[in-house]
A and B are shown apart, each in its own frame.
Chain A
Amino acid sequence: MIATDSKVLLSLRGVKAFYGNIAALKGVDLDIREGEIAALIGSNGAGKSTLMMTIFGDPRAREGVISFDGRDITSMPTHAIARLGLAQSPEGRRIFPRMTVFENLQIGAAIGDPRYFDASLERVYAIFPRLKERSGQSGGALSGGEQQMLAIARALMNRPRLLMLDEPSLGLAPLVVKQIFEAIADLNRREGLTVFLVEQNAYHALKLADRAYVMVNGLITLSGPGRDLLAMPEIRAAYLEGGR
């Protein structure tokens, strides 16, 4: 489905990040190409979410280079990075609890062209019809699954070039997980949206991913096409134990 030689959209070289004096990322190299679904798997505390946030400059990479579409974004302010066309549905979803679903989507489109607002809204409502039914409810009153849908929808409202999803399956019922992964695959297939996915739910992520990275202790230890990784015995043992 993807040409492996398509343009590199996001690239990280030797990225190190720290919390205080504790190294969370110890020199990460990673490439995400235009139009592909990339997955990052790894156990709890490996540094996956830190990597997602470091790409957005929060925490800032202390060493290394992060570039997006050929542009060095390593020391850009977070909001300026978002304005280049990166969007994230972060760890813990971070829905604005005292805003309605509709307002959450409006704020998601804060930097988008207002002319496309209605079209963007229709698009996310088509993907997640549940959000349309709930549009007047406050974000804090949604169920976990609905909040996850809202977090993804909110990230889509700016029409990003790169959609970053941090554990979209966390704490959700299997049926909802399936629905969300189908939506992601669909966006990639139909619109060519580049997706960077962080998951503990390795089976789904690897099945979906054109390219996958395995992170252990702040370092990328393995990478390759998702299906190849899925077939590797050591991956199965480490991340798919008792897997579905």
Chain B
Amino acid sequence: MEIFLQQLINGVTLGSIYGLIAIGYTMVFGIIGMVNFAHGDIFMLSTFIALILFLALTQILGVSSVALSFVLAMVAAMALTSLWSYMLERLAYRRLRKSFRLAPLISAIGASIFLSNLVYVLQGPRNRPAPSLFDAVIKVTHGGGYDVTLSAKQILIVLVTALLLAAFWVVVQKTPLGRAQRACAQDMRMAALLGIDVDRTISFTFVIGGALAAVAGVLYILYYGVVNSGDGFIPGVKAFTAAVLGGIGSLPGAVVGGLLIGLIETFWAAYISSDYKDVAAFSILAATLVFMPSGLFGRPDVEKV
């Protein structure tokens, strides 16, 4: 029971991170119908940006407040990663949008390889350690010689995720930009007829997706403490799995899918095999695609005309 509780806590933490990344996949798919394979690397990029900025702030500029440095690094990582995501769409995808369906996909794979190699060249092949922050641990309960703990990091990760998702939800549901985003996802030509600048709306989608992935990156390095240039791939594919499981194109689906993948992965590692924990996520991807292609919250492609 104690192990179960502990894994539940760990799973929700990990799932929050996957959920944040998954939103980027699902939004982009929802609006232009492509899988942005470079999204995982955007997430990886933000971990490096945040790490470098955090170290610069605390070590070089001598900012003494860890919390302040953390927030500054996160905000700057969000801004720079969004910019990258924006540029990616502008340079690598926009011109291919009216081409054959595979073209932007291939371009995305190219962009993914480019970005992970760029970081590899700039930062080297080794794992980069991050300073350990927010180390406080709360003992939740004790039983069977086993402490169930909840760390400050975990609380922070879940809180930041919840807050960000709430803000994101308000933006998409209640603001004119969010409305334009949803309109374009449903019928791009009609949105244009109503005067909505479709290109700008797509850019906005990439910016939002990039910002959320950036926060996921910051939380990821806070949680795991190390990162290297190859770390975009596996979390990226898992978040993509989360988006597919939740029903690609569905925003609540991405969040629920993220949590589920996080939980499944942690429980698999705890009860079955930690060596094969990645297999769990990929089996789910395969099973979802075969048996339930529209996912948990996806809608079948039929619409009343």
Nearest Cβ on chain A to B99's Cβ, whole angstroms: 15
Contact with A along B50-87 (1 / 0, CB 8 A): 00000000000000000000000000000000000000
From known contacts A97-B304, A98-B186, infer whether A110 and B179 are also in contact, taking CB-CB under 8 Å: yes
Q: Are B180 and A96 in contact (CB under 8 A)?
A: no
Size category of the binding interface on chain A: 20 to 34
Nearest Cβ on chain B to A170's Cβ, whole angstroms: 11
From known contacts A99-B183, A99-B186, infer whether A140 and B194 are also in contact, taking CB-CB under 8 Å: no
Q: Are A82 and B304 in contact (CB under 8 A)?
A: no
From known contacts A78-B193, A96-B187, infer whether A110 and B180 are also in contact, taking CB-CB under 8 Å: yes
Residue on B nearest A108 in the bound complex, by CB: B194
Q: Are A158 and B194 in contact (CB under 8 A)?
A: yes
**Is A45 interfacial (CB-CB < 8 Å)?**
no
Q: With the chains together, A82 CA to B186 CA distance in Å?
A: 19
Which B180-239 residues sit within 8 Å CB-CB of chain A? 180, 182-183, 186-187, 189-198
Contact with A along B168-181 (1 / 0, CB 8 A): 00000000100110
**Is B303 interfacial (CB-CB < 8 Å)?**
yes
**Is A103 interfacial (CB-CB < 8 Å)?**
yes
Chain A residues with Cβ below 8 Å from B197 are: 77, 79
**Is B167 interfacial (CB-CB < 8 Å)?**
no
Residue on A nearest B193 in the bound complex, by CB: A88
Nearest Cβ on chain A to B144's Cβ, whole angstroms: 49
Nearest Cβ on chain A to B187's Cβ, whole angstroms: 5
Q: Are B194 and A154 in contact (CB under 8 A)?
A: yes
Chain A residues with Cβ below 8 Å from B182 are: 96, 98-99
Nearest Cβ on chain A to B212's Cβ, whole angstroms: 21
Contact with B along A59-95 (1 / 0, CB 8 A): 0000000000000000001110011000110101010
Q: Are A82 and B195 in contact (CB under 8 A)?
A: yes
Q: Are A82 and B183 in contact (CB under 8 A)?
A: no
Residue on B nearest A160 in the bound complex, by CB: B195
**Is A56 interfacial (CB-CB < 8 Å)?**
yes
Q: Are B194 and A58 in contact (CB under 8 A)?
A: no
- 12 pairs, A vs B, C-beta closer than 8 Å: A56-B192, A58-B189, A77-B197, A82-B193, A94-B190, A96-B190, A97-B304, A98-B182, A107-B183, A107-B191, A110-B180, A110-B196
Given contacts A58-B189, A110-B194, 5 further A-B contacts (CB under 8 A): A56-B193, A78-B193, A79-B195, A79-B198, A94-B187
Chain A residues with a Cβ under 8 A of chain B: 56, 58, 77-79, 82-83, 87-88, 90, 92, 94, 96-99, 103, 106-108, 110-111, 140-141, 154, 158
Chain B residues with a Cβ under 8 A of chain A: 176, 179-180, 182-183, 186-187, 189-198, 303-305
